[in-house]
Amino acid sequence: MAEELSIAQGVEKAQKYEQLLPQIEGLISGESNMIANLANVSAALKQTFNFWWVGFYLVEGEELVLGPFQGPIACTRIKPGKGVCGTSYSEKKTLIVEDVDKFPGHIACSADSRSEIVVPVIKDGQVLMVIDVDSEQLANFDEVDQRYLEELAQMIANRA
Ligand code: SME
């Protein structure tokens, strides 16, 4: 396993994702422990994009519980249908929020968060967890992030 990520600087984010995803695959393919893998995936995304907050909420019973992440401390439990994460979980789909203040029920774990993307990790029709990424800039996420984070979600589902 490569111990260091190699990502070109000064390139567009799609190119960064293109470089990052195979390296993440290499990182997680040799390890069966999901928490270890999610911890490294969080770190790899943080290191590459310097996201404000990036991590996972894991499905436990009927609710989401905070998993491995990078960034400021966060709320630990989210009910289905609540906030961006709980809505993505309930609706089993990716949500891009350009301005969190305009999302009804947004859960403000950090007052500095301005935009957000949440991607469910789905296996056999069941949501196992969600990937949550927050930015301190408005409208920081678009269909490029969606495309590659959904690819990442599939990669994680395949290891689950
Ligand atoms: N803002 C999220 C809660 C999680 S934090 O952003 C880390 C939401 O509305 O679901």
CA-proximal residue: ligand 1, atom 5 (nearest): 109
CA-proximal residue: ligand 1, atom 1 (nearest): 107
In angstroms, the CA 105 to CA 97 distance is 12
Distances (CA, A) of 13 to 25, 75, 115, 121: 18, 28, 17, 22
pTM: 0.96
Paired tokens of 80 = 């289905």
The per-residue pLDDT for range 70-111, each reduced to its tens digit, is 999 999 999 999 999 999 999 999 999 999 999 988 888 888
- Whether the CB-CB separation of 57 and 65 falls below 8 Å is answered with yes
DSSP type of residue 79: -
The per-residue pLDDT for range 23-74, each reduced to its tens digit, is 999 999 989 999 999 999 999 999 999 999 999 999 999 999 999 999 999 9
Q: How far is the CA of 96 from the centre of ligand 1 (A)?
A: 12
Pocket test for ligand 1, best of 84, 95, 136 (most atoms within 8 A of CB): 84
In angstroms, the CA 83 to CA 54 distance is 16
